[in-house]
Structure 1
């Protein structure tokens, strides 16, 4: 997306060297500091990922993401907390979308922009999702239709909807259509009692997005500067990551480019702290991989079945604990499990459903309107990592089992 004249003038009038965000050693740490001023409770990983994902909108293959969690769990809040650091003109925010809205879209450019849908329920099923998938995958949308004319029906091609786009949305579902989910990073809102208590404390102290206005101009100026001064990023250790990736799940083929894109985004926002090669390309360093590993290893491990999200794990462990204490052979009821865990029934129910669908639990009392009675399933809880540890990636070349050229 090209900057308009007003933004160009703003950039050239302001010396980027005087930008307080530009001068920070770790911009993601500063983003965390800013969010704490607004009372953000718990991990700030999702807003950080949202921020970096938004930066990838300028790439040929931008990253898209979906945030999953219970109703009222903070999904939308987490996304919008990250998006506030991006200028509003880079974002097309919508509440819903009809089935053929995208192919008939006129008057709005989506090219290299963020398309943000606050709730997945606002998106139509069927072809609407297929159109969105094409826009995310191909970077454009072409559509043939039939128009009624004075000479009868006539087939014609609608104007191409130009991308690429970075698509973001939230949902209360445990999963979405697998073709959609495979194209997106899947992030889960943490279910933590202390996080809820801290959020309430912050509200009691008047800390919230609505009461604490951040100075976002330096963030937006930095974003505009990066957009205007496009740089190529080199990841010299990309092949080493490949050598260490688990390849027992085909989804890694779609997840790995997202990892590389976010490493590049991290290096790009820290461009003044990174070395350049002789061609002026920014070189991503070890700290960029460390940041992305910290942010993505857990959600990617859950998506690749190398791990399981915390809520599901806790439900399975709770059922195991109850059985060890002498549970009824018929299974552990939803009510008893909620009481044992001290958690809301809706939260526990959502995790029970996910655990059953993934094979970690079985329901001994199936049927609509019946209370679930769960028992331990055949599948064991996994313990693994999708991304190699940073120290493994950056071992001296002579220590590699299979030496490669860096």
Structure 2
């Protein structure tokens, strides 16, 4: 293999060299992957010339290539200059008049210039030694050595080695600091030693933390070094977004947890990651570093006043729960202003159907309303899950997507497919949220369906596994908190039997009339895009922390007495009906009365709206009624069989009679066979079906009673509406009435190196 080819393989360069044997590639000696700034050219003797325009030295580039398996002697075809008969390195020139830096779009191009211009010399990098690091951070070198820091050589350059020790003092990870300043190409200052498993920095000081009763969480190691030098107990998180929920176990029993939030996007992400840990958020206090970027900068700007300014910053610290309440109250008030008119509507689902139709969705009013109501039920303790069924190209996915557009993204998490253990390992929040799977086949595998059943039935996932740790193989319990609802689309007539009973099955319309309506909607030129802002605001207002979630159904017991116990499945379906009633009442909470405990009182209008949507679905689910499409298919087959003198008929004949395409007719026939009303006498694969009649169609049983029956029941009673709604979110307290948390700043501890700092 030619030397240039060896380099191309090592650098994983896209494409080959140009006609003159040169190209641009990403330099292996630093972490920039945005701009290819390593110039590679084949020398006249067949060797390779290398030059990094980001400032990496020849030695650094060669050392990095050696790390990738390219020996130095393999890079050159002839003897080393100045050493006849020996193979060695061609020293690449630091400047070449014919070379130009790569273009800003990062595309490798020829390096010649029409008018050669001198290349400005690369800015020399300051070696990252422990002494240079101590000077840059304003800390004593000996203090840092006591913490285990040292200078090492890494890939031909100096680096500061920072060991991560466990609570018992064993080395679990090592992080290397390669540079003191962030480079223009990106932050390539840090690198983990191979095999390191990131964890909290400073765990070996946990005994001190427990004794102090507080801890300060910061980003990175340097802020820890600064705080420790001033006697302040701290732990470092190695990156703004690297916090893991299981790390909160180290802080169990620590009464006050402060987090320094840096004034940038990373600081915001850091705070959100910490607040997402349920075991931490109630003790979490956010601290802003007093106008500085971070703790280290605050120290460097005025070392003499560092502790005074830091105490002042801790005095202004706010509990995360207080900040969250203030933010949510303000957001709730803003949402209410945007949705007040819509929230006061008496029939919100009708307004939704009208807006959906104007946006280009043809028909499917019942399906759309039920999906909207199910998604609103995410706010309850038992969301109602739905399976949308229909033939391929029936519009299932489009319908679901259009309904989802009326909800904020925080209401759902949509996927086309997921692996078997996604529900266990994903960090995406699923509490009071819907999981949307486009095509049930994407939820493949017995284990995936098992986790889904557990999530829907128990409202959470508890999955115990084992993982490799520095202490060996250890068990790990993964918990995903719900409740969570599921919307899944499928072309199947039935899902997994255990999943089928946990979802309401909703079929899209497969008739020619519906197809005609869809075609007309597609051809319509002046399609109106609805204003979604009040709809999004309505759902945000309903989901605000201060909003009413409790719903009481005064007539629930009377309704239960009127429902015939015709099937065991009703034990689950009746609960789903009640939750849809609660969701409808919650949606209309601005026009419903409240009880003494502040719960929304559902009235008969809520039951009437839900019964209109699901009465037949419930009856069909418990097989107390035959779906209209199945009954129509069986009756058609009966007529055709009479005409044929009892000879078996084909699916194609049924399709022609019903004026359906073959796929839609096949789904109907399969559904009828599944219920036993038709039989297929053909048992050979690939042969046309031979359809005959099966079990006779039974009479229908009314499972959900009419509103009139329920109203006439003496136990039911009636609860009219109310016109006195208001945002239920509690307004924040007046800032002037707020009290400053007791942070110990009045103790007057002067601080200093190794002096206990009281918070």
- Give the TM-score of the pair, scaled to structure 1: 0.91
How far off its partner does 1:11 sit? 3.3
Residue 394 of structure 1: SS of its match in structure 2? helix
The aligned counterpart of 1:121 is 441
1:356 corresponds to 2:673: yes
- Greater per-residue helix proportion: 1
Q: Is the CA contact 2:388–2:508 (under 8 Å) kept in the aligned structure 1?
A: yes
How far off its partner does 1:257 sit? 1.0
Name which of 6, 29, 32 aligns with 2:353.
Answer: 32
The aligned counterpart of 2:568 is 250
| Aligned pairs (5 A) from 1:5-404 | 8-13=329-334, 15-16=336-337, 19-106=340-427, 108-148=428-468, 154-206=473-525, 212-228=528-544, 229-324=547-642, 326-397=643-714
Q: Distance in 2 between matches of 1:82 and 1:17?
A: 20
Q: Distance in 2 between matches of 1:18 and 1:253?
A: 36
Q: Is the CA contact 2:548–2:600 (under 8 Å) kept in the aligned structure 1?
A: no
Q: Distance in 1 between matches of 2:717 and 2:412?
A: 40
Q: Distance in 1 between matches of 2:459 and 2:569?
A: 20
The C-alpha deviation readout for 1:71-98, integer Å capped at 9, x for no partner, is: 1112122222322221112211111111
Q: Is the CA contact 1:332–1:374 (under 8 Å) kept in the aligned structure 2?
A: yes
Closer/same/farther in 2, CA of residues 336 and 14 from structure 1, 3 Å limit: closer
Residue 247 of structure 1: SS of its match in structure 2? coil
Over aligned residues, Cα RMSD in angstroms? 2.3
Q: Distance in 2 between matches of 1:18 and 1:353?
A: 45
How far off its partner does 1:382 sit? 4.2
Closer/same/farther in 2, CA of residues 14 and 318 from structure 1, 3 Å limit: closer
Residue 63 of structure 1: SS of its match in structure 2? coil
Q: Is the CA contact 1:352–1:361 (under 8 Å) kept in the aligned structure 2?
A: yes
Q: Distance in 1 between matches of 2:563 and 2:456?
A: 24
Q: Distance in 2 between matches of 1:5 and 1:96?
A: 38
How far off its partner does 1:147 sit? 2.6
Q: Distance in 2 between matches of 1:375 and 1:149?
A: 63
What residue ranges of structure 2 are gaps of 5+ in the alignment?
1-275, 277-320, 719-759
- Give the TM-score of the pair, scaled to structure 2: 0.50
Q: Distance in 2 between matches of 1:6 and 1:170?
A: 36
Q: Distance in 2 between matches of 1:396 and 1:141?
A: 41
Residue 145 of structure 1: SS of its match in structure 2? strand
Closer/same/farther in 2, CA of residues 288 and 358 from structure 1, 3 Å limit: same
Q: Is the CA contact 2:711–2:717 (under 8 Å) kept in the aligned structure 1?
A: no
Q: Is the CA contact 2:336–2:541 (under 8 Å) kept in the aligned structure 1?
A: no
- Structure 1 stretch 251-260 or stretch 18-27: which is displaced more? 18-27
- Structure 1 stretch 4-13 or stretch 384-393: which is displaced more? 4-13
How far off its partner does 1:354 sit? 1.5
Residue 158 of structure 1: SS of its match in structure 2? strand
The aligned counterpart of 2:90 is none
The C-alpha deviation readout for 1:195-239, integer Å capped at 9, x for no partner, is: 2211211221136xxx54221111111111111212321111111
Q: Is the CA contact 1:144–1:155 (under 8 Å) kept in the aligned structure 2?
A: no
Closer/same/farther in 2, CA of residues 18 and 67 from structure 1, 3 Å limit: closer
For the pair shown, which has the larger CA radius of gyration, 1 or 2? 2
- Structure 1 stretch 309-318 or stretch 130-139: which is displaced more? 309-318
Q: Is the CA contact 2:554–2:716 (under 8 Å) kept in the aligned structure 1?
A: no
Q: Distance in 2 between matches of 1:246 and 1:76?
A: 35
Residue 92 of structure 1: SS of its match in structure 2? strand
Residue 347 of structure 1: SS of its match in structure 2? helix
How far off its partner does 1:18 sit? 6.3
Residue 712 of structure 2: SS of its match in structure 1? coil
The C-alpha deviation readout for 1:348-388, integer Å capped at 9, x for no partner, is: 11111111121101112232111111111123244233311
What residue ranges of structure 1 are gaps of 5+ in the alignment?
398-402
Closer/same/farther in 2, CA of residues 6 and 369 from structure 1, 3 Å limit: farther
Q: Is the CA contact 1:114–1:166 (under 8 Å) kept in the aligned structure 2?
A: yes
Q: Is the CA contact 2:385–2:487 (under 8 Å) kept in the aligned structure 1?
A: yes
Q: Is the CA contact 2:505–2:617 (under 8 Å) kept in the aligned structure 1?
A: yes
The C-alpha deviation readout for 1:92-135, integer Å capped at 9, x for no partner, is: 111111111111223x1111111111111111121110011111
Closer/same/farther in 2, CA of residues 114 and 350 from structure 1, 3 Å limit: same
Residue 514 of structure 2: SS of its match in structure 1? helix
Residue 467 of structure 2: SS of its match in structure 1? strand
Residue 367 of structure 1: SS of its match in structure 2? coil
Q: Distance in 1 between matches of 2:550 and 2:591?
A: 15
Q: Is the CA contact 1:330–1:364 (under 8 Å) kept in the aligned structure 2?
A: no
Q: Distance in 2 between matches of 1:368 and 1:113?
A: 43
